[in-house]
Amino acid sequence: MVEVFRTDVRDAVKADIVKIALYQYLGYSNVVFDLQDGDRILRIEAGNIQNDNVISVLEKLNCKCEVLPDY
């Protein structure tokens, strides 16, 4: 399963913090940021992704996040 999110993560340090938190939540997964994109894309590939929980993880880290529909 692959999900794509728009975020407000602006730098690599914050992206790494978010990745670590998502790895703890998701277990085995592929988490990639594209900070050069205007939407600061977060792409997650994992067996089971619950969008609300991903958004909650980012909100706990003071980051905004929303699902990008039909990416």
Buried b (16+ CB within 10 A) or exposed e, 47-57: eebeeeebbeb
Which two structure tokens, joined as six digits, stand for 49?
Answer: 């992704």
Q: What is the pLDDT of residues 36-51, one digit of tens each?
A: 999 999 999 998 899 9
pLDDT in tens, 3-30: 999 999 999 999 999 999 999 988 878 9
Q: Is the Cβ–Cβ distance between 58 and 18 less than 8 Å?
A: yes
Say which residues have a Cβ less than 8 Å from residue 1's Cβ, sequence separation at least 6.
45, 46, 47, 48, 49
CA atoms within 13 A on the CB side of 18: 31
Q: State whether CATH 3.30.450.70 applies to domain 2-67.
A: no
pLDDT band at 35 (very low <50, low <70, confident <90, very high): very high
